[in-house]
Chain A
Amino acid sequence: MLSLGRDVLDKQLLDAEGRPFGKVDGVVLELRPDAPPRVVALEVGAATRLARLPRWMTRPLGRLATRATATRIPRSAVLSVAREIRVGIDATETPAWRVEKWLARLIARIPGGR
């Protein structure tokens, strides 16, 4: 039996290359009539995180919060659930990597960043 809160939510995510790309910020369940709910996707991203925080904490961020992304990882992409959760996608292709990519471009301009 998988304890979704303990074993999945907030666990470290590793992509197909073993790259750390965040923690599981959300788990999406599908509600079905006359059938038990099932997990359809994991979610990682600032938008998902902000949705979990109380309003008084996130309101000061204002418009910055609207630019936050959320990346959905279909459950079918999950390879293993252990100390980390390994998923079979390339993190650099996801919106979650957008900030990292943008910063990396900035850093490349600074000597020694490479």
Chain B
Amino acid sequence: MAEIRLEHLLGRRVIDRRGRVVGRIEEVHAEREDGEWIVREYVLGVGGLVERLAAGDLVVSLLGGFAPEPQRHIVPWDALDLSDTERPRLTRPLAELPRRAA
């Protein structure tokens, strides 16, 4: 049974089909189905450390309208290739993946 740990998956950089870093895995959504917890999608956060920190609630409170908008994409489970657990890879182009409202 191939295993992967959530705590190592979260925060890991994701690359696209061309090998470029597109963002990091911010969250994993699962659905309860027949008593199982099945992973449905991943939330991909685009942007560097500064953007990620800057989008936090505290900064939004301080900067109000000037706070940057976080960019997040929803990656369905079959659009992420985890055969190399250290390097999750998108199987579809980023542009095809739905943007997520903040």
Interface residues of A (CB under 8 A from B): 1-6, 8-9, 25-32, 36-40, 48, 51-52, 75-76
Contacts and interface: CB of A to CB of B under 8 A. Distances in A.
A31 B6 contact: no
B40 A36 contact: yes
Interface in B41-71: none
B4 A75 contact: no
B29 A31 contact: no
B3 A39 contact: no
Contacts of A75: 36-37
Nearest to B78: A36
A5 B78 CA distance: 19
Nearest to A6: B27
Contact of A2 (B5, B26, B32): B32
Contacts of B22: none
B4 A4 contact: no
Contact of B28 (A5, A28, A31): A5
Contacts of A39: 6, 30, 36-37, 39
A4 B3 contact: no
Contact of A5 (B3, B26, B77, B82): B26
13 contacts: A1-B40, A2-B32, A3-B27, A3-B28, A4-B28, A4-B30, A5-B27, A8-B6, A9-B10, A27-B7, A29-B3, A32-B2, A39-B36
Residue among B3, B4, B28 having the largest count of chain A Cβ atoms under 10 Å: B28
Contact of B36 (A9, A28, A38): A38
Contact of B7 (A6, A26, A36): A26
Contacts of B93: none
A61 to B, nearest CB: 19
A29 B8 CA distance: 11
Given A1-B40, A3-B27, A6-B27, A37 B32 contact: no
